[in-house]
């Protein structure tokens, strides 16, 4: 044995170094999340010192005159996100139920790659088509002053959020034990009754996760929303709020950061909006993953 240690000594050092590198790489994700948090705080927190809270929670976003209310921007993000989900949940969940429970394999092989392609389409491409095709069409169809509105943004966002919802819902449906379905069928239920009475309820925590991640995807989306929502940071003033221009938090950062002086108050407020987005995505993701974890333990309990 002493012989073996002697021979392998340089190799041991080499292996020790490699293992160390691998371990450090493993921990790098924690480092990056921390760094992101630190740098957002470093640049964004001074905003709270320079801008009174009454201004941040006021009614106007007009940085040139020192109005830094983020409420119109939060409203903008909220209205397009809710609109997008109202479209993306039925279409996304419907498609995944169809794929995992009804569609024959050959249809799966056509639909799934198309969903993957949709997931891979750069958002700037969808934004471009929104400007060129969707907005003018909506303007004519609904006789609006402009097609660049919250509604256009919601439609594009629905397209962007759908692949996320489909892939996670489908995973959730696939993990439902086939014994559940067989038991229900044996009791005389139709396939449709099995789907809505057994499979979908059994997968509901996974579907909830899918919806949460869809929310995260929608709130964080930048380019497509910036290009088609008309860039007006205002609070709603009437019942046509869905068809008036809005501006999201993400679009505000993207469109204004290029023009501000580094370290100015405006710059700090834009970073502050970044902190808000960071916290929202943190909450959404932690809730989503804890929901699916709880679901899994429940399923395990049921099966054991």
Q: Which residues in 246-275 contact another protein (CB under 8 A)? A: 250, 253-254, 257-258, 262, 270-271, 274
What is the smallest separation between the CB atom of 181 and another protein, expressed in angstroms? 14
Report, in Å, the least distance between residue 257 CB and another protein: 5
CB-based burial label for 2 (10 Å; 0-12, 13-18, 19+): exposed
User: Does residue number 117 form part of the binding site for another protein (CB under 8 A)?
Assistant: yes
Core vs surface per residue 199-222: b (16+ CB within 10 A) or e: bbebbebbbbbbbbbbbbbbbbbb
The contact pattern for another protein, residues 135-154, with x = CB under 8 A and - = no contact, is: --------------------
Least gap, CB of 152 to another protein (angstroms): 14
Shortest Cβ distance from residue 237 to another protein (Å)? Answer: 25
Q: How many residues bind another protein (CB under 8 A)?
A: 85
Nearer to another protein, 97 or 150 (CB): 97
**Residue 240 or 290 having the CB closest to another protein:** 290
Beta bridge partners of 67: 62
Regarding 201 and contact with another protein (CB under 8 A), the answer is no
Interface pick for another protein out of 13, 182, 193, 264 (rule CB under 8 A): 193
* Helix ranges (DSSP H) in 45-143: 46-50, 53-56, 71-97, 105-120, 123-129, 135-142
Q: For another protein, which residue of 13, 23, 201, 204 counts as binding (CB under 8 A)?
A: 23
C-alpha–C-alpha distance, residues 234 and 61, integer Å: 7
- Cβ 85 vs Cβ 215: under 8 Å: yes
Tokens of 249: 């938090």
SS3 call for 120: helix
């Amino acid at each position: 044995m002493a012989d073996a240690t002697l021979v392998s000594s340089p190799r041991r050092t080499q292996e020790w170094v490699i293992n160390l590198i691998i371990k450090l790489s493993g921990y790098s994700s924690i480092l990056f999340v921390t760094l992101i948090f630190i740098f957002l705080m470093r640049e964004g927190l001074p905003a709270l010192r320079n801008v009174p809270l009454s201004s941040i929670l006021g009614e106007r976003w007009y940085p040139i005159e020192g109005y830094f209310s983020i409420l119109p921007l939060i409203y903008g993000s909220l209205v397009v996100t809710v609109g997008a989900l109202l479209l993306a949940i039925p279409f996304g969940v419907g498609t995944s139920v169809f794929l995992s429970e009804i569609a024959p394999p050959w249809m799966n092989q056509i639909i799934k790659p198309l969903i993957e392609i949709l997931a891979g389409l750069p958002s700037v491409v969808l934004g471009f088509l929104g400007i060129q095709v969707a907005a003018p069409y909506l303007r004519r169809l609904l006789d609006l002053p402009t097609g660049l509105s919250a509604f256009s943004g919601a439609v594009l966002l629905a397209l962007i959020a759908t692949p996320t919802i489909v892939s996670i819902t489908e995973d959730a449906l696939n993990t439902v034990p086939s014994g559940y379905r067989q038991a229900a069928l044996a009791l005389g239920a139709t396939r449709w009754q099995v789907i809505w009475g057994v499979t979908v309820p059994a997968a509901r925590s996974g579907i909830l996760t899918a919806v949460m991640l869809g929310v995260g995807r929608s709130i964080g989306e930048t380019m497509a929303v910036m290009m088609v929502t008309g860039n007006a940071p205002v609070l709603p003033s009437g019942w046509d709020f869905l068809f008036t221009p809005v501006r999201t938090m993400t679009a505000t950062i993207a469109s204004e950061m290029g023009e501000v002086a580094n370290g100015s108050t405006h710059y700090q407020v834009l970073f502050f909006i970044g902190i808000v987005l960071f916290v929202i995505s943190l909450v959404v993701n932690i809730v989503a993953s804890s929901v699916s974890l709880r679901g899994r333990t429940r399923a395990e309990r049921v099966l054991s």
